[in-house]
Amino acid sequence: MPNLPRLRRPREPAVSATSAAEPAAPRIEEIQADGLRWINIEHPGGPERAWLEEHFDFHALDIEDVLSRNQRPKIDEYPDYLFLVLHIPVFNHHAGRLGAGELDLFVGPDYVVTLPNQPLPPVEYLFERCRSDEALRQKIFSRGSGYLMYRLVDDSFDYCFPMLRKVGNKLDALEDEIFEGRSEDVVRDISNAKQEIINFRKVIRPQRPVLRDLEKVKTRYLVSDLDLDIYFDDIIDAHERIWDMLENYKEVIVALEETNESMLSHRVNDSLRVLTAISVIVLPLTLIASIFGMNIGLPGGGDPAIDSLLSFAVVIGIMLLILVGMAAFFRKRRWL
């Protein structure tokens, strides 16, 4: 047996003792006012986990949920804090489809820790506004960690409405294209819109029980003189409006798909009807041509050349009469 070639492995770069001993610094962003801290940790990893374990007494299972990739929306209540998991619809430009971004929140009496697993526009926007606008920061932070939690949840659901309007505009455009006679071109667009609605529903639907549980514990970290019942009711109302819009879009896309298939079938039926009529019209002509094309003498006498010419003219005349008659009959019955 011949010797197998030996693989050449690239030499690993030498690591200095200083760099090996120093762990990566955790990526922590923090703003505070009126005794309330908002800590934002985007896409947490090992260093961020060590930082959380050092500075907070969170349950180990909650930290595992933060680092896990697939975690369902939920809310867990502990004596010292609340742990909340939300999913936010986010359009993935690389995959070209709608996905779910996870937002984990730890809410305590004097802190809120947000841990998005990817850049989430509503969280980033509110964090930057609070960092740059001192008046807004004082207004939100002075009302306690419960109010900051409400703002994060409310902004996350409000972020869904512009995306839903885009979906509605897509459905309107698809309807126009279908009735403009471009049914074959919109089959793929209908499939993509249907998949987008399905993905949106998969993100929104599991959060219903979370909002019901949030309704029960909403007053835990609210300022005593602040009545936010109507605000948390608004979150539930926003969720219901989102779900109603998705239900409506689901019915619309199914109706558009059925309409498009009907128009495609109608177009195919029109083509088959024309082809069938042509076949039926040509059938007797083919029969006559076949009979008179047999290798036998034609009826009549006299000069064979004159007789053949006369017979040919008679046959052509009969075929034309049958052709005109059948075309007129089909036209009268509206089969053509």
Same domain for 274 and 157: no
Same domain for 313 and 216: no
Q: E strands along the chain, which residues? A: 29-33, 36-40, 74-77, 82-92, 97-107, 111-116
CA distances from 92 to 11, 44, 100, 199, 302 (A): 37, 20, 9, 12, 88
- Domain contains 11: no
The residue from 245, 265, 285 where one domain ends is 265
Model-wide pTM > 0.75: no
- Specify the residue for token string 């804090």: 81
Q: How many CA atoms lie within 13 A of 315 on its CB side?
A: 18
Among the listed residues 228, 203, 206, 208, the one whose alpha carbon sits nearest the alpha carbon of residue 217: 228
Same domain for 186 and 67: yes
Nearest-10 Cα torsion for 133, 139, 142, 143 = -130
Same domain for 297 and 179: no
Cβ atoms of 160 and 242 closer than 8 Å: yes
| Summary count for the chain: helices (H), strands (E) | 11, 6
Residue 4 DSSP label: P
- Domain contains 109: yes
Residue 278's domain spans which residues? 269-332
The residue from 242, 265, 288 where one domain ends is 265
Same domain for 202 and 64: yes
Pair of tokens at residue 324: 């005109």
Residue 333 DSSP label: T
- Domain contains 16: no
Pair of tokens at residue 332: 């009268």
- Domain contains 10: no
Same domain for 198 and 151: yes
Cβ atoms of 85 and 102 closer than 8 Å: yes
Same domain for 310 and 168: no
CA distances from 170 to 53, 164, 165, 193, 239 (A): 46, 10, 9, 8, 22
Same domain for 305 and 169: no
pLDDT tens track of the chain, all 336 residues? 444 444 344 444 444 444 444 566 778 899 988 889 999 998 888 888 889 888 888 888 888 888 887 788 888 888 888 899 999 888 877 767 788 888 999 998 889 999 998 888 999 999 999 999 889 999 888 888 888 888 899 999 999 999 999 999 989 888 888 877 776 678 888 888 888 899 899 889 888 888 888 877 766 666 545 566 677 788 888 889 999 999 999 999 998 888 888 777 777 777 777 777 777 777 777 777 776 665 545 555 444 555 566 766 777 777 788 878 877 877 777 766
Cα angle vertex 301, ends 299, 304, to 5°? 95
* Amino acid 18: pLDDT: 41
- Domain contains 2: no
How far is residue 30's CA from residue 137's CA, in Å, rounded to a whole number? 12
How far is residue 287's CA from residue 227's CA, in Å, rounded to a whole number? 92
Same domain for 280 and 219: no
Same domain for 309 and 165: no
Same domain for 295 and 235: no
Q: Would you put residue 14 in left (φ > 0), alpha (ψ -120 to 50) or beta?
A: beta
CA distances from 107 to 52, 57, 86, 244 (A): 13, 12, 13, 30
Q: What is the CATH number of the domain that holds 226?
A: 3.30.460.20
Domain count, the chain: 2
- Domain contains 19: no
- Domain contains 13: no
Cβ atoms of 156 and 88 closer than 8 Å: yes
The residue from 249, 265, 281 where one domain ends is 265
Same domain for 252 and 274: no
- Domain contains 17: no
Q: Enumerate residues 6+ apart whose C-beta is below 8 A from 25.
A: 47
Q: What is the CATH number of the domain that holds 313?
A: 1.20.58
